[in-house]
Amino acid sequence: MLTLSQVTKRYPTGDRALTDIDLTLPRGQVMALIGPSGAGKSTLIRCVNRLVEPTSGSIRLEDTELTRLSGSALRRARRSMAMIFQEYALVDRLTVMENVLSGRLGYVGFWRSFLRRYPREDIAEAFRLLDRVGLPHALDKRADALSGGQRQRVGIARALIQSPSLLLVDEPTASLDPKTSRQIMRLIRELCTERNLAAIINIHDVALAQQFADRIVGLRAGKIVFDGSPQALDAETLTTIYGEEEWDTRVSEDETQHEPEHGIAPSPRLALATGGAS
C-alpha cells in the first residue's frame, strides 16, 4: 500500500539523514521502526506526509505519487495518513473536543472550522472515539489540563477521526512512564487491528516494539540494516542497529540500579574523575 523507493533526504545543513531507502508496507501491517537517536526515523515518517521534503526518490500511497503533490492535492493526501507525535502536539489552549475535531480540518471548509460548526456525524464520531480511548468525560477540558497519557489518547483520537489508511507514529511513548507506555501501545495496536490500518511506529523501546509490532525495521545512520519479524531480532542484529553494548537487558539494568546503593564509597568512575581534576 505504501511504497518508498530510493528515498534520500539531505538537510540544508548537510546532514544526510536518509540514504536510498526502499520499503514496502502492505495494508494493515504494523511496522516498528527502531534505531538510535539521529538514525533518521522521524525524518522517514515526515517525508511520507511531507512535513519534510525528501531530496530524491519516490513515495507512493496506493496509486498516488506523494513526492510530486502540492497545494490542495497534498492536503487531500494528508487526510489519509494520520500522524501521532511524541510530545502529543495537541493545541494546548483548545479544548479536547476541538483538538479531536481538528482531525477533520482536511474535510471541512474554512468557515465551518472557524465557527466550529462541524457536521453532526463528525461530532458524533469524535465523541465515539473519545469514548473508545477512555476520555468521554474530558470533552470540554483544555488540552493542557490533561496528563501525558490522556493527551496521547486525545492525539490518537485526533488521528483516527481523519479516517486514515496509514498511521505515522513518532515515538508515541517516549514521554510516558512504562505502564502508560504499554497501555498506549496496546491501544494503538488494537485500533490498527480493528480498522485494518497500516502503521509505521518509531520507537526506542525494543521490547515494546517486539511485543506489539508485526514487523521490525532497524535504521542506522539513514540506512535500513534490519528488516524482519520480531522473533528474528537477536543480540547480534541489535548490535548492528545500535552498536556494541551488552544486550542482555535485565543484567545491565540491574547493574545501573545497584550503583546508588554503593552509597558513601564513591564508584570507581567517580573516583577517577575527581582524581583527574586535582
Partner 1 sequence: MSRQAQAQAGQWRRLPMIENPKLRWGLVVGLATYLLLALASVEVNWARVAEGASRGLNFLAAFTRPDFVSRQGDITAGILESLTMTLTSTVIGVALSIPVGLGAARNIAPWPIYYACRGIITVSRTFQEIIIAILFVVMFGFGPLAGMITLAFATIGFMAKLLAEDIEDLDWRQVEAIRATGANWWQTMNHAVQPQVMPRLIGLSMYRLDINFRESAVIGIVGAGGIGATLNTSISRYEYDTSAAILLIIIAIVLLCEYSSSHIRRWTQ
d(CA 148, CA 87): 8
Which cell is 190 given?
A: 488494537
Q: Which does 95 bind (CB under 5 to 8 A by kind): Mg ion, ligand ADP, partner 1, none?
A: none
> For Mg ion, which is the closer residue by CB, 95 or 173?
173
| CA 106 to chain centroid | 21
Q: Which of 22, 87, 131, 255 binds partner 1 (CB under 8 A)?
A: 87
d(CA 181, CA 14): 34
> For partner 1, which is the closer residue by CB, 76 or 262?
76
If one asks whether residue 220 binds ligand ADP (CB under 6 A), the answer comes out as: no
Q: Can you say whether the dihedral through the CA atoms of 219, 170, 163, 209 is positive or negative?
A: positive
Cβ atoms 191, 128 nearer than 8 A = no
Strand partners, 84: 169
Length of the chain: 278
The beta-strand segments (E) located in 98-220 are 166-170, 198-202, 215-220
> For Mg ion, which is the closer residue by CB, 42 or 162?
42
Q: Which stretch binds ligand ADP (CB under 6 A): 13-21, 123-131, 155-163, 268-276?
A: 13-21
Q: Which does 39 bind (CB under 5 to 8 A by kind): ligand ADP, Mg ion, partner 1, none?
A: ligand ADP
Residues forming contacts to partner 1 in the complex (CB under 8 A) are 49, 51, 72, 75-79, 82-83, 85, 87, 89-94, 98, 102-107, 110, 113-114, 155, 158, 162, 278
Residues forming contacts to ligand ADP in the complex (CB under 6 A) are 11, 13, 15, 17, 35, 37-43
